[in-house]
Structure formats: C-alpha cells, structure tokens
Amino acid sequence: MRRRFLALFVLVTLFALPLHALADVVVGDSIITLGENLTEEQKQALLSEMNAPEEAQIVTVSNTEEHKYLGEYIPKSQIGTKALSSSIITITDPDSGLIVETNNITWVTEAMYTNALITAGVKDAKIYITAPFPVSGTAALTGLLKAYELSSEQAIPEDVKQIANEEMVKTAELGDVIGTEDAAALMALIKEKMAENAPQTDAELRAIIEAAAKELGITLTEEHISSLLALFNKMKELNIDWNQVGEQLNIAKEKLTTFLQSEEGQNFLTKLQDFFVSLIDAIKALFK
C-alpha cells in the first residue's frame, strides 16, 4: 500500500491539468513574492534563505488579497491580519513538472500545493515556499498564482484561482481526518479516474470518488463525499480538456516507471523498505 501512495505522490507532482496555453517564458527566470507585512529584517532573511537572484522580480502580497481568495473556505481568524508567507518560483524546462519545497509551513503539505497549482494551470517550475516562523501556509498559494501570472504573462481566471484555493483547503481539512498523504493521494486518484472516464452525472462522479477511496483503503463519511462532489463539480465547469489530462497522466506514469526501474529508484525503494522493517522491529522490541 505504501508503494501505491509513493506512486500517487509522484503522479501528483508530475501531471498537469491544461487550463491555459502558456506564453513564451525564459527557463531560469525567477519571481519572488513577499508578504506585505514582513519587517525589513524578515524580508532580507527570507531572500537570503531563498538564494534569491539579484535580477529576480519581487512582488508583494497583501492580507486583503489573502482574504479575497481564502475568505469563503476558512475562518478569517485563521487567515489572520498579516501577510507573511513568501515564495520564489523559477521556470524550468518544458515537461519537467513541478517541484515544491516548503519551510515553516505547518498545515499545507508540498503535495497539496502541487495539486492546487496544477489545477490552476501551473506547470514546469521549481517552487520554494517559506515564512519567518511556523505558519499554516494557506495564504502562500495567493502569492504563487500572482507570481505565475507574471512569469507566464497570462492571467489566471478568477474562478480558477478560487477553485485552486478551495481544493488546497479541502485537501488539508481532509488530511486532518485521514492523514495528509492519503488526502493528497485521493485527490490525485480522483483526477486520474476523471481523466480516464469523464463523469456526466453526480452519480457517476460519486462512483469515482467512492472507487478511489476504496482503492486506497480510505473510509469517507457522507459529509466528506458531499464536499468532494461539490469541489469536483466546480472543476467540471472549468472546461478542462480531460483528453489532454489523460495524455499528461500517461507521460507521468512513464516517468514514474522509468524512475522505479532506474538504479536510483531501486535504491530509494530499498531504503524505504529498510526503514519500515527497522521501524517494525523497534515497535516489536517495546513489547518484549
């Protein structure tokens, strides 16, 4: 089962929902987003942490913007009154996928960011998200989408930004119940199944959600299913080219297969297996 989760996590970081045709961008270009309420000392510390290029463009993100995209999904108190989360996004080679790394982010995982960014049409970029001290991380997506719009020179539709933020929050909330890894894997598998056979009715979409949960050994409440139905119904209305999604998934699977067959992939799986064996042995020793 753990190998299945590993595979799904890699898929989450690779496949893309093609919502937009991107403008020409220069590989290696970086854009930095800084929270508007950072102190000058905090800004300099984060720029140093990011290894920010001197020529990188810097944009600020306000707390008002954070509330605009998150206010419908989480309490205002959770968003707070200060914009602090910051990030750097660097454009990478075509078909290289997304690489997301975080620091001082406590609630939203790297896989959750990746899934939400993919929904917004972001791809082929290296992304680093950080804050001056531990924060939930919900506000970081606002800055990332703003930065990507500038780097791609194409606006992301407002409804797409909203659905990406909603997806991130719902995945994180589901992760509080079933575990963050399982929540991210479930979202990825639902998308995979939707790409394979686009649901036309609520009943068909429910069947996909339930089948994905069953395949991963996840138990969902009726409340969870209803929430996911609402989310993915909104995605259906975004006019996504699901045929192209399927093509992207096939590319992702090929990359995953190549990795697992490589010496690096085999070494990784061996280390992963050794870790779980040692963990089980340590637990057994407690009861001797």
Asked if the structure places residue 54 within a domain, the reply is yes
> What gap in Å lies between CA 75 and CA 52, rounded to an integer?
33
Count of residues for the chain? 288
Tokens of 52: 């920010």
Q: Between residues 203 and 72, which one has the greater pLDDT?
A: 203
pLDDT tens string 199-241 = 999 999 999 999 999 999 999 999 999 999 999 999 888 865 5
Query: Containing domain of residue 44, as a range?
Result: 21-158
Q: What angle do CA 180, 134, 67 make, to 5 degrees?
A: 80
Predicted confidence (pLDDT) per residue in 249-271, tens digit? 554 455 556 655 666 656 655 65
Residue 262 lies in a domain: no
* 11 assigned to some structural domain: no
Question: Does the residue 89 lie in any domain?
Answer: yes
Say how many domains are in the chain.
1
**8 falls in which pLDDT band (50, 70, 90)?**
very low
The answer to whether residue 229 is domain-embedded is no
* Domain assignment of residue 231, yes or no: no
Residue 151 falls inside a structural domain: yes
The answer to whether the beta carbons of residues 131 and 75 sit under 8 Å apart is no
Instruction: Enter the pTM of the model.
Output: 0.74
> Residue 273 has what pLDDT?
62
Strands 30-35 and 57-61: parallel
